[in-house]
Chain A
Amino acid sequence: MERILFGDNQFFAVNHISDEKSRAQSIRFKDDSAILQTLDISRDNGVQTFMCTTHDRIANICDAIRANPEKYKGYKIFPCMPYAHKYANAVTELGIAGTLKQYVPGNFIGSMFKGGVAFLSKDYLSIMELLIDAEMKMFKGIDTPVIFLQNVITDLLLGLGMKDILIAFHTYVAKKYQAEAGFITMNMPMLLDVLENGGVKNPIICSSINKVGFRMSGGKELYEKTLRTRQFRAIAMQVLAGGAISPKEALEYVCNLPNVESILFGASSRANIQETVRLINQFDQSRADMILN
C-alpha cells in the first residue's frame, strides 16, 4: 500500500462536524467531472490510490478511468463495501428480508423464501459472496488490490460475535479477486484480537487514529500500545479528528506513530490536498532523518 491514500467522504457529503459543510460539498460535487478533477489534483501530488465506497456514482468514475487507460496507468482503487446508507434506508423501508430480495442478484433469496430451502450455513456465506460480487461489478478491469469491509458492517459483525463471516470475507476476496481483504473499524484493538484468533495473519485494518482520541474505542493509549506491540498493517483515518485540531499538529502525531503503513485523507481544494501531502512527506522525512542519525 502507498503511504498516502485519497478518500471520498468529501464527494458524498460526509462531514463529521458540519451539516452546512455537507450541503456545500453536495453542491460542489454534483457533477462527476468535479470528482474527476479533484482526483487529478491528488494524482498530480503523487497520490495514486483512491479509497472509496461502492456508491452508485463511483461507477461513473470507474467508467472514466477505464476510458482513459493511458492517463490512469498505475492508478489503484481500494473499494469499501457496502455503501451502508443504501442498505440502511432500504431496511427501514423494506425490512431485512425485503432488502436482501432487492439487492441480492438473481432469484436466490426469492427461491429461498418460496421453496423453504434449508438454511444451511453455506447459504448465508453464499448470500455474502453474491453481495460482494454485486458491489464489485463496477470495478471490472480496474486494479483493486485491497477490498475493504466498511466499519458499520465490520463492527456489527464484531459485536454480534460473527467472526466466521469476517474471516469468510477475507478468504473470498483473496480467492475470487486475488485481492487482500481490509477491514475498516472504530474498534481496532478488539477487531485485531478476533481476526488473529481466527487465523488471519497481519491483517489490513483501517481505523480512526488521531491525537485527540476521537472514535478510538478502548482509548488512545490502547491504540498506541497495539500499534507498538502487535503485527498488522494499519491505515490511519480521521487523522484530523473532524477538524478539531490543526492539520500540522494532527499529521505530526500520526506520522510519528510506529507501524502506521498508510494515511487516508480526503480534501476538496487544491491547496488543502497539496498542504496535507506536503506535511506528511515533511514529517516522514524528519522522522527518517532522526532514525538515521
Chain B
Amino acid sequence: MLAIWKREVQAYFYQPIAYILIGFFFLISSIYFTFGTVAAQVAELNNLLSSIIFILTFVCPILTMRILTEDRKNGTEVLLVTSPVDVYQIVLGKFLAAFTVFMVMFASTFIYLAIIYILGGQPEIPMLIGGYIGFLLVGASYVAIGVFASSLTENQIVAAIISFAILLLINIIDPIATFVGGFTAKVLDMFSLLSRYSDLNAGILDITSIIYYLSFTAVFLFLTTRVIDKRRWSQG
C-alpha cells in the first residue's frame, strides 16, 4: 500500500497536473482572500474557506480522473492485482495519494493565515480549527467520489465527467431538499455534504459530522473495491 501511495504521489508531481491544480486553486483563493478578507478588513479565514470550497467541485474530478483509469489502460492493473496486495490496499493507496496532493493544495491557505497575523489580526482559534477540519473532511469525501468514478471506466475524461456530475448534484442537494420537503428531503439530506460543513465551519466540532464524513469516504472507497472485484469476475 505504501509503495502504491508513494508511486502515485510521485506520478502527480512528475506530470504538470498537480502543479496546475494547486496553482489554479491558489489563484482563485488568493483573489477571494485579497478582496473578501484583506480589502474587507476581516480577521478570520472561515468566510474564505466556505467561499472557496466550491473550487473543489472542479479540482477534485481532475485530481482523481486518471488514478484508476490509467492502470486499466496501461495494463498495470494486472501487475497490482497479481502482486501480494489486496484490492482494498490498492484503492486505499491510490486514495491517500490523491488526498496527499489535496493536502498540499490545502496547505497553501496557511499563507493567508500568516498574512492575517502579520497584519495584526487575531482569528479565533476554535473556529479556525473547525473550518480546517471541515474543509479536509469535505475534501476527503470529494476525492473518494473521484476515485470511485475513475474505477467505473478506462477513459479519464468520462471519469472526470462522472465525478463532476456527482459533485454538482451534491452542491445543489440542499435547495432541492428544501423544495421537495418531507421524507425525500430526509433521504437527500443524507448526501448533503455541505450543510454539515457549515456547522463545522461555524466552530461547532460535532463528532457525528466528523463520523459522517469519514463513513461517507469509506463507503465510496468500499464501492470502488467492489467495482474492481466485480469486473475481475465478469471480464477477461
Partners in one complex: no
